[in-house]
């Protein structure tokens, strides 16, 4: 807190000095701005150029800076600074995270497969782990949770049965009916002696008020904000959000997937009367990695990434060793973020989809792929693979929706089938390959999830849950309208122009 106050006072002092100088100078404020602005814009354009970003991202920034220089400058300061700057800011954090993983491995919390997978699954697990994914774990039971009612019922039941600890992390957590119900359940367990840690993203949950959070703090719940938007490091963090959704109870039951906490996820919103989503319940060995990811985020957010803090968690109460022996298949947790060396989740999904022999089915609320993903889907469809994309019938952002549709033409021409869910917002993030391998998690099929956000997915191998995912897909396809090449070609010239415009800035979304 003292550092933040000192930085704020420093900024105010510098601003005051500049204003005093300007007041006594013959140079007017507007003349000075008119002189500085072009130089600043040119300097930023040069920085973007030498950073060797993707051609699409570079072109998008050049256009914004040229057409709307003032707005472009503000957007760049908030959202445009590259991942290497974020990595520089978090270099010490990432080094400590890696040390945390080494400590975990040294404590024999590593995972081993006690029963083999088939050849294709085994190959994928090895490659995805090389790409930065966690170790594969069998003896892990999973359950697909469809929509809000089923998801929140399971989560609240797990919270009510907790005996040692509850870890809860969300990008969006609202102080509405379901948010209050879960908060009160956490308070009740904290009063009974259960340790509760509550982590929320500073931007996604920026509407949470002190009056809502204070009752949790009053009973000893550790309430922590991940990268506050009021932080002095705002320009370093505002574009890199923690989009993960994780709940872990007693180290034995965990949840992750598409649902945040809010009444809209229960289809109680006037704007979205039908909200289609999917979540995953996990029990068994794979929780090791899920727990580790939560603790890394929590300790970073509390500025406690140190060995002393880690050692507090290095026991079987947080990392129990037992698995679900009768569980079929295996689970591999993959996480990525702006401080990662590579786009782990994107690479894992590309490898999954490139292994397809029969089908690739994708559910996503936002579809803004990079060039590699777009090319893979096109070539897969052209080679005879059944490629389908399940997309919202009703979007929550006009810009993102139009930008997404700008990618439909090359896909439809290649034979990709695109379905829009009737009158519903499709918020699930799922990839299903050959009815054998599936991923479900928090990552959308867009550049932001691949490169900018902290995300997490679970890859499922040879599990009955994969068949349940297939069944949900088939029902969703029945409830959808397929977009045909002929019908899509009939859209108006105004809509085509809007798609083209939003396509230009899609790398920035």
Out of 434, 446, 472, 476, the active site residue is 434
C-alpha to C-alpha distance for 403 and 405, rounded to whole angstroms: 5
State whether residue 292 is helix, strand or coil. helix
Neighbours of 104 (CB within 10 A): 20
3-state secondary structure 79-128: HHCCHHHHHHHCHHHHHHHHHHHHHHHHCCCCCCCCCCCCHHHHHHHHHH
| Catalytic residue list contains 245 | yes
Give me the catalytic one of 167, 189, 245, 285: 245
In contact, 91 and 340? CB cutoff 8 Å: no
Instruction: Indicate if 250 belongs to the active site.
Output: yes
Catalytic residue among 201, 227, 250, 401: 250
Q: How far apart are CA 454 and CA 203, in angstroms?
A: 13
Q: Which residue out of 279, 281, 427, 476 is catalytically annotated?
A: 427
Q: What is the dihedral of CA 190, 196, 201, 205, to 10 degrees?
A: -20
243 catalytic? Reply is yes
Known active-site residue 476: no
Nearest-angstrom CA–CA distance, 307 and 26: 57
Residue of 285, 429, 472, 476 marked active site = 429
State in Å, rounded, how far the first CA of the chain is from the last one. Answer: 32
Nearest 5°: phi and psi at 457?
A: -135, 155
How many angstroms separate the CA atoms of 241 and 227, rounded? 8
Q: Which residues contact 70 (CB under 8 A, 6 or more apart)?
A: 37
Catalytic residues: 243, 245, 250, 427, 429, 434
């Amino acid at each position: 807190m003292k550092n933040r106050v000192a930085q704020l006072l420093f900024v105010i002092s510098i601003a005051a000095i500049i204003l005093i100088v300007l007041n006594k100078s013959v140079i007017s404020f507007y003349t000075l701005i008119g002189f500085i602005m072009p130089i600043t814009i040119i300097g930023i354009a040069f920085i973007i150029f030498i950073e060797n970003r993707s051609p699409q991202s570079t072109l998008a920034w050049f256009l914004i800076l040229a057409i709307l220089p003032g707005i472009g400058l503000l957007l760049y300061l908030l959202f445009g600074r590259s991942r290497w700057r974020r990595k520089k800011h978090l270099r010490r954090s990432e080094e400590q995270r890696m040390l945390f993983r080494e400590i975990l491995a040294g404590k024999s919390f590593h995972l081993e497969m006690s029963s083999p997978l088939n050849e294709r699954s085994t190959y994928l697990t090895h490659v995805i782990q090389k790409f930065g994914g966690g170790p594969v774990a069998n003896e892990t039971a999973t359950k697909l949770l469809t929509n809000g009612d089923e998801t929140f019922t399971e989560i609240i039941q797990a919270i009510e049965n907790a005996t040692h600890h509850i870890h809860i992390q969300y990008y969006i957590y609202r102080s509405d009916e379901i948010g209050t119900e879960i908060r009160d359940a956490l308070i009740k367990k904290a009063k009974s002696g259960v340790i509760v840690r509550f982590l929320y993203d500073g931007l996604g949950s920026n509407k949470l008020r002190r009056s809502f959070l204070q009752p949790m703090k009053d009973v000893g719940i550790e309430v922590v904000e991940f990268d506050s938007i009021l932080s002095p490091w705002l320009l370093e963090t505002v574009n890199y959000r923690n989009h993960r959704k994780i709940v872990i109870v007693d180290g034995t039951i965990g949840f992750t997937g598409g649902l945040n906490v809010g009444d809209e996820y229960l289809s109680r919103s006037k704007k979205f009367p039908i909200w289609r989503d999917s979540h995953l319940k996990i029990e068994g060995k794979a929780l090791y990695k899920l727990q580790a990811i939560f603790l890394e985020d929590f300790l970073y957010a509390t500025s406690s990434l140190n060995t002393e803090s880690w050692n507090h968690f290095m026991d079987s109460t947080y990392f129990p060793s037992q698995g679900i022996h009768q569980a079929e298949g295996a689970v591999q947790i993959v996480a990525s973020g702006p401080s990662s060396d590579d786009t782990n989740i994107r690479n894992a999904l590309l490898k999954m989809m490139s292994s397809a022999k029969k089908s690739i089915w994708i559910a996503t609320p936002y579809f803004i792929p990079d060039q590699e993903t777009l090319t893979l889907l096109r070539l897969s469809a052209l080679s005879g693979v059944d490629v389908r994309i399940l997309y919202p019938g009703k979007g929550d952002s006009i810009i993102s929706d139009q930008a997404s549709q700008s990618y439909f033409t090359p896909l439809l021409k290649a034979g990709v089938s695109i379905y829009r869910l009737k009158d519903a917002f499709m918020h699930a993030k799922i990839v299903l390959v050959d009815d054998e391998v599936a991923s479900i998690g928090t990552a959308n099929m867009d550049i932001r999830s691949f490169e900018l956000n902290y995300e997490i997915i679970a890859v499922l191998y040879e599990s009955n849950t994969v068949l349940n995912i297939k069944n949900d897909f088939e029902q969703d396809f029945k409830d959808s309208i397929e977009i045909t090449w002929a019908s899509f070609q009939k859209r108006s010239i105004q809509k085509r122009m809007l798609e083209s415009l939003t396509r230009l800035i899609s790398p920035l979304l």
